[in-house]
Amino acid sequence: MALLDIRDLSFSYPDESKPALNNFLTAREGEFILLTGPSGCGKSTLLKLIKHQTAPAGRMRGQVLYHGKRVEDYLPLTLSQEIGFVFQNPDNQIVMDHVLQELVFGMENMGYEPGFMKRRVAELVHFFGFEPWLEKKTSEMSNGQKQMINLASVLLLNPKLLLLDEPTSQLDPVAAKQFFSIIEQLNQDSGSP
């Protein structure tokens, strides 16, 4: 069964006569899908509709199926954990003052057991090489570092589906390359079914 199956999806924002998007898509476990199109073609709207909690108000037709079930029929907690979302602007996602607090914020909200959190954070901090940043203020981090922190916070929840909305648009070419090489490595290490 496909991980994600989008069927005849159309969505219109309130008071807009023209639909913001109209499409279909299927994603299987381990797949890496790139959505491209000009600004305003509906990429962000589509991603927000996939992670149901981020869905904007408006009229939706068609279906977004995750593991064969409509996203609106899942418990919010399940989608919060299983579908990770990294926003376009890193500052829109950072909420805590310090890097370590930011990393564990999502896990704490999920109510994970402290011992498990410590082990999981230690593993990921090592993977990303974040040790020197842990005590630093999030406001001192560059955009590239902030976006890596956002990615790591999302990955700590061990998501099955990762949605990245132009995550490198605010990064310089070196930081963008680093970001994508991490994604590629993750996809190779844990993306295969």
Nearest approach in angstroms of CB 13 to ligand ADP is: 3
Indicate the residue among 44 and 153 with the shorter CB distance to ligand ADP. Answer: 44
Q: By C-beta, is 36 or 192 nearer to ligand ADP?
A: 36
The residues near 49 (Cβ < 8 Å, ≥ 6 apart) are 9, 11, 55, 56, 60, 64, 71
Give the bridge partners for 163, in sequence order.
Answer: 85
Question: Considering only CA atoms, which of 189, 102, 105, 97 is closest in space to residue 147?
Answer: 102
Q: Cβ of residue 114: shortest distance to Mg ion, in angstroms?
A: 37
Determine which residue in the list 13, 24, 32, 116 makes contact with ligand ADP, applying CB under 6 A. Answer: 13
- Say if residues 128 and 182 touch (Cβ distance below 8 Å): yes
The CA distance from 109 to 60, in Å, is 29
Query: What contacts 27, CB < 8 A, 6 or more positions away?
Result: 2, 3, 4, 5, 33, 161
Nearer to ligand ADP, 40 or 193 (CB): 40
Please give the structure tokens belonging to residue 34: 């790139």
- Identify what 42 binds: Mg ion, ligand ADP, none; CB under 5 to 8 Å per kind: ligand ADP
Residues with Cβ within 8 Å of 109's Cβ and at least 6 positions away in sequence, in order, are 80
Residue 158 neighbours by CB under 8 Å, 6+ apart: 81, 120
User: Which CB atom, from 83 or from 125, has the smaller least distance to ligand ADP?
Assistant: 83
With respect to ligand ADP, which residue has the nearer C-beta, 35 or 124? 35
Shortest distance (Å) from residue 56 CB to ligand ADP: 6
Which of 27, 41, 55, 182 is in the footprint of ligand ADP by CB under 6 A?
41
Site size toward ligand ADP (CB under 6 A) is: 12
- The residue range among 14-22, 40-48, 77-85, 154-162 that interacts with Mg ion, by the rule CB under 5 A, is 40-48
- Which positions touch Mg ion (CB under 5 A)? 43-44
Contacts with ligand ADP by CB under 6 A lie at 13, 16, 20, 37, 39-45, 56
